[in-house]
Amino acid sequence: MSASLKKRENTPAADGRRPHLDARAVVLLLGCCAVWGLGQVAAKLTLAEIPPLLQAALRSAGAALLLLAWCRWRGPSFWHSVMQRDGSARGGWLAGALFAAEFACIFIGLQYTSASRMVVFIYIAPFVVALGMPFIARSEKLSSWQLLGLVAAFAGVVWAFYEGFMRPTAGPMQWLGDALGLAAAVLWGLTTLVLRGSRLGQVVPEKALLWQLGVSALALAAASVAAGEAWPQRLTGASLWPLAFQTVVVTFASYLVWFWLVRHYPATRVAAFTLLTPVFGLLAGVWLLGEPLTARLMLALVAVCAGIALVNLAPRRA
């Protein structure tokens, strides 16, 4: 292939979208997957001093403030597009409530199961989206390859979940943490469907994210008070640094990078890289927290990754 042809293929289109992933995109995608995988480990570490619901509320509130500052920095016109009334409030409140419930399940579940197991169960969410999308957009029906992917992933999760009853590695209540991980995956999938099927799908991504962060911060703080969580009187770096990592790096910075990548590169190729997130999460849990790496969990991870690959790549093959 000539140099001129290669240059032409990598030239951005009129809308600014590049036809292929370049080195910068690959590096950023790998960074996002690694950060998201480490997020579960950071949450597990923070639980030593900050209870789950309060931790999730602080994370959402801090990221929401950073996002507001970011929108203000983008200029008056962008700030107006985020703050104006556009009929997205109904979807925003619903998405925010689902977002709050999702992270309540994750943070509470991490008290009973390992971070490496949690990240495997959470990434069942794409299959919830795949099952629900035909009800929102009839053109997005499941192909035979996609159905095979769903079956493979479901079999892997059942295989891993069964271990929580027969040979628990994270304590006698591991099954409860695993179940909350599955519930979080369903809630994440439902949130995505709300974002796609409501007016939130027509607003700038920063506004959709701001709805989720703002509503979840209020809901989770109220839930923390209602549950009678003991708010810490003194905090140390053992919890503050992991919380800061979740707030600044995971919930604020990585989401903005993700939105930029989706805007400037092919969405299908960008989405395929999320397959690496459970791998990073599992390795981080084993390496940083000393969590056990069982053969059953490895098989479940392979099944989930294979299922996601079939669901995402099958339409391109067709």
On the question of pLDDT at 59 being above 80, the answer is: yes
Q: Worst-scoring range by mean pLDDT, 48-62, 134-148, 174-188?
A: 134-148
CB atoms within 10 A of CB 144: 10
Q: In this structure, is residue 288 part of a structural domain? A: yes
CA angle 120, 123, 129 (to 5 degrees): 155
Q: In this structure, is residue 304 part of a structural domain? A: yes
Give the pLDDT confidence of 196-229 residue by residue, as tens digits: 788 887 888 889 889 999 999 999 999 999 999 9
Q: In this structure, is residue 158 part of a structural domain? A: yes
On the question of pLDDT at 124 being above 70, the answer is: yes
CA distance 275 to 301: 10
Q: What is the pTM of this model?
A: 0.77
Q: How many domains does the chain have?
A: 1
Q: In this structure, is residue 14 part of a structural domain? A: no
HSE-CB of 153 using CA atoms within 13 angstroms: 30
Q: In this structure, is residue 191 part of a structural domain? A: yes
Q: What is the pLDDT of residue 204?
A: 84
Q: In this structure, is residue 28 part of a structural domain? A: no
Q: In this structure, is residue 34 part of a structural domain? A: no
Range of the domain at 168: 51-230+240-317
Q: In this structure, is residue 164 part of a structural domain? A: yes
DSSP category for residue 199: G
